Amino acid sequence: MPIGLGILGSAGVLVLGGVVVAGAAVYQAGAVRVSVDEKSPDGHHIHLIAPAAAVPIGLRFVPDHALRHAASEVRPWLPAIEIAVTELEKYRDFTLVEVDDAQDHVKIRKLGQTMVIDVDSADATVHVSFPLRSVMSALHRIEALPRNSGKAVVSDHFSDEGD
C-alpha cells in the first residue's frame, strides 16, 4: 500500500472517531423539545427539537440587552434554582405537579435526568422537555450578564457576596 493512502486512511479514522465521540457527547447531553399544537381550526403547530448541548452556544447569540430584564427578575432566585436543579438530579422519576380540572390537565414530572411539562387545555396541547443540565447552562449565562455597572459579572457560583 502506498504511504499516502496509509496516511489518508489514518486521517480518515481519526476524523470518523472524532465524529463518533462528538455524536456521543451530543446524544448524552439530551435534547430540548418544544411542541405546541393549537386546537383552533387555523391553529399553529410548532415542533422544535434541539440538542441540549446547543443551549449554551445558542445563548451566546442572544444579545445581552434582550436577556437583561429577564435576568434582573430571575437573579434573586438563582441560588434557589441551582439548589433545586442539583437536588432534582439526585431523585428517581416522580411527578412534581399534576392538576386536573374540567378543561385543563397539567403535569410536571422528572423522567430520568429530564424535566417534562405537559399541558392539555381547551386552546392547545403543549409539551416541553429538557435535560436538567441545560438549566445550569442557562443560569450561568444569566449570571454572566452585566448588572448595573455595564460590565460583565462572571462568577463560579450564584451568591451575591460583595454586592
Could you report the per-residue pLDDT of 90-111, keeping only the tens digit for each?
999 999 999 999 899 999 999 9
DSSP state of 156: S
> Which residue type is seen at 24?
A
CB atoms within 10 A of CB 139: 19
**Tell me, what's the pLDDT at 12?**
66
- Judge contact between 105 and 120, C-beta under 8 A: yes
CA 135 to chain centre: 5
Nearest to 26 by CA among 49, 59, 10, 46: 49
Bigger pLDDT: 9 vs 157: 9
Residue 134 binned pLDDT confidence (cut-offs 50, 70, 90): confident
Using one digit for the tens of pLDDT, what is the confidence trace for 5-63? 566 666 666 666 666 665 655 555 688 999 999 999 999 999 998 888 887 777 778 77
- Which residue is it, cell 462528538? 22
